[in-house]
């Protein structure tokens, strides 16, 4: 790992999740249950395969995700969130809250986000608990 530009808390997290692709991969894992390389490629935002590969490697190095052989197909790699990754869920939801307030967003996505946000911290924790179970090692 390279030396950080500064040890400011905002800088430290932005060094990890400061580009759109990283957060969209994490979103897909958390909210869309995507686990495989090809599934990430099919996202609406159309990430390039080289960028996806780079971001998955970085997320693994940061211990936000881990990979293992798929239980269904031993030649496929399955990606899962670590607890460190799951702990990013409240950040994604606060990003969603800001977008709902200031940006035009997809109606179905807005309903989903509002449903979670309206449930408050208990709903967010409940989803994080579900993620911890479904992404167990």
Domains observed in the chain:
9-134 (1.10.10.10)
**8 Å CB contact between 40 and 47:** yes
Residue 21 has pLDDT above 70, yes or no: yes
pLDDT band at 1 (very low <50, low <70, confident <90, very high): low
Average pLDDT estimate for 76-93 = 96
Residue 74 has pLDDT above 90, yes or no: no
Please state the φ and ψ torsions of residue 82, each to the nearest 5 degrees: -90, 175
* Confidence at residue 73, expressed as pLDDT on a 0 to 100 scale: 80
**What is the residue-averaged pLDDT of the chain?**
94
**8 Å CB contact between 37 and 52:** yes
pLDDT in tens, 97-134: 999 999 999 999 999 999 999 999 999 999 999 999 99
Residue 75 has pLDDT above 90, yes or no: no
The burial of 82, by beta-carbon neighbours within 10 Å (0-12 exposed, 13-18 middle, 19 or more buried), is given as middle
């Amino acid at each position: 790992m390279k030396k950080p530009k500064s040890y400011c808390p905002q800088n430290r997290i932005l060094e990890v999740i400061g580009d759109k692709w990283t957060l969209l991969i994490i979103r897909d894992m958390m909210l869309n249950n995507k686990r495989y390389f090809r599934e990430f490629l099919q996202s609406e935002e159309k990430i390039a395969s080289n960028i996806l590969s780079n971001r998955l490697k970085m997320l693994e190095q940061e211990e936000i995700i881990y990979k293992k052989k798929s239980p269904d197909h031993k030649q496929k790699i399955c990606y899962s969130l670590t607890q460190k990754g799951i702990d990013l869920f409240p950040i994604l939801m606060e990003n969603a809250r800001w977008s709902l307030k200031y940006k035009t967003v997809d109606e179905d996505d807005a309903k989903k986000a509002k449903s979670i946000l309206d449930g408050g911290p208990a709903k967010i924790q409940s989803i994080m608990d579900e993620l911890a179970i479904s992404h167990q090692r």
